[in-house]
Amino acid sequence: MNIRQTIVQLAGPATVIAIGVILASCATTPPPCNGPTTTNLNAAIDQVQTSLANGCEAEFDRYFDDLLTIAEGDPKPENKRAFSEFLVWSNDQGLLSRRQAERYYNRYFNVKFMALEGDFNNCSHTCPRRDKVYRDMERELNAKERGLLKVSLDNDGYYRANELYQEVELVLEATCTACAAK
C-alpha cells in the first residue's frame, strides 16, 4: 500500500471525527443572552420573551431589571399592565411559579410588603430579627419607589406603601417593647 492510499484511508475517519467535534461544540454553545436593544417597552418585552424561550432562562432577573430601566425612560400607568402580562407569560412558560410571579409584581407594583409575609408581630419570631425585617422592608420600599413612581407614575400607590412602612415600623416597635416587658 502506498502512502497516498494510507492518507486517504486515514483522512476519512479523521474528517468524520473532526466534523463530529465541530457539531458537538455547536450543540453545547450557550445561546447569546443579550439584553433588549430598544427603548420601547413592548418591543423590549418581545425581545426578552424570545431570549427566554430560546434558552436564556437563567438571565430572568437581569432581563426584568432591564425592562424596569426601559420603562423608567417612558413612565406611564399602563406599564403596570405590561409587567403583569409579562409575568403571566413567564408563569405560563414555566419560567416562574405562580407565587414567584406574584412576588415580582407585588415587590414593585403593589403597596403590600412581601417582606411581611406571615405573622410579623410574633414576639419570638420577629422581634429578635426586627433589624433584618426593617432592612428587607426598606429594600422593598425602594423597589416600590422604582415600580410605582418611576415606572408607572402611581404616586398615590407609592405614598400608601410609604405610609404602611411607617405604620408597620411603629406597630413592630410597640410590639417588641411589649414583648420585652413580659
pLDDT tens-digit map of 113-150: 887 766 555 787 888 888 888 899 999 999 999 999 99
Q: How far apart are CA 173 and CA 80, in angstroms?
A: 33
| Cα-to-chain-centroid distance, residue 6 | 59
Distant-in-sequence, close-in-space partners of 97: CB < 8 Å, separation ≥ 6: 91
What integer is the mean pLDDT of 35-56? 96
Long-range contacts at 59-68 (CB < 8 A, ≥ 24 apart)? 59/33, 60/90, 60/95, 60/96, 62/35, 63/35, 63/36, 64/104, 66/35, 66/36, 67/36, 67/41, 68/108, 68/146, 68/147, 68/151
CA distance 23 to 108: 44
Per-residue confidence (pLDDT) for residue 25, from 0 to 100 = 53
Instruction: Please write the tens of the pLDDT for every residue from 64-93.
Output: 999 999 999 999 999 999 999 999 999 999
- Select from 155, 159, 147 the least CA-distant residue to 80: 147
Q: Give me the pLDDT at residue 130, please.
A: 85
Sequence-ordered list of residues with C-beta below 8 angstroms from that of 156, at least 6 positions apart, any chain: none
Calpha distance 109→117 (Å, rounded): 16
Separate counts of helices (H) and strands (E) for the chain: 7, 0
Whole-number pLDDT of residue 181: 84
Give the three-state DSSP class for 31: coil
Give the pLDDT confidence of 11-38 residue by residue, as tens digits.
555 554 555 555 555 555 666 899 999 9
Comparison of pLDDT for 97 and 117, the residue scoring more = 97
Asked if the model's pLDDT at residue 9 lies above 90, the reply is no
